[in-house]
Amino acid sequence: MNDAIPLLDGLDGIRLPAVGFGTYTLTGQKGSDVAVAATANGYRLLDSAARYGNEGAMGAAVRRSAVPRDELILTSKLPGAAQHYDDAIATIEESVFRTGLDHLDLYLIHWPNPGDDLYVEAWTALIEARRRGLVRWIGVCNFLPEHLDRLQAETGVLPAVNQIEMHPYFPQTEQRAYHEATGILTEAWSPLGRGNEMMADPVITAIAAAHEVSPAQVILRWQVQNGAIPLPKAASPERQRENLDLFGFALDDTEVAAITGLGRADGRIQDQDPATYTEY
């Protein structure tokens, strides 16, 4: 692993770097090249998904990277249309085939889709895929505490990771407290808010000026200090390096609280509430 990035330990022996690399929209040769550059710039965790259409590109990046395979963690995700057990197994197998690797390191259920009531069935497929060595660790995305409680009650297995929307306008305080209490690692998708007004928020910019860093670095550092693993995406090498340069400064408790205080009741980027949202 990159010694400059702290590691977080969790359930089932999982160990993840404190910052990962988001790959949404990074496809084809260009996307693969960006991911290879990211590994050269220090990233060791690449986050892909079947829905992103880039498992092949990210698998190629892992194979092409100068970083040893056992130091890279490639993630993919099960789409909502494949939550029946047999469909899930076949989809996981296809995910592995597309990467050109012999296994995936982390595999997640992309959304619970509670209206379909298949997420426990899908979870049993992930447990089987782990048993077969198709994947090393298993987890979920966007699961609420009631979904996680049900997984544990019906299978006896908690996810190692729950990847959730998290940023200053949606700080997920209660969800993160549940994760901390149960040992689940929190990953943050859209950690920078997909370019919304957050980056120009006066609270963020004032703290950035005080530390002589960028607003993005302040937001990412806030997530790290809250125990989450942000997954920023950046195409340029300069931005990639900047988004990893988070460990030479620290926010004080007042600054952390001020950023958390930016949370809004309507803070979700696209109003995707896991209690009702369905993703296929």
Our CA angle for 41, 61, 104, nearest 5°, is: 110
10 Å Cβ neighbour count for 147? 21
Residue 85 token pair: 């057990």
Strands 161-165 and 104-109: unpaired
Nearest to 277 by CA among 122, 151, 114: 114
- Which residues are catalytically annotated? 52
Separation of alpha carbons 256 and 226, rounded Å: 8
C-alpha 51/C-alpha 170 separation (Å) is 24
Residue pair 2/212 in contact by the 8 Å Cβ criterion: no
Rounded distance between C-alpha atoms, residue 85 and residue 128, angstroms: 10
How many residues in the chain?
Answer: 280
Q: Which residues pair with 15 in a beta bridge?
A: 9
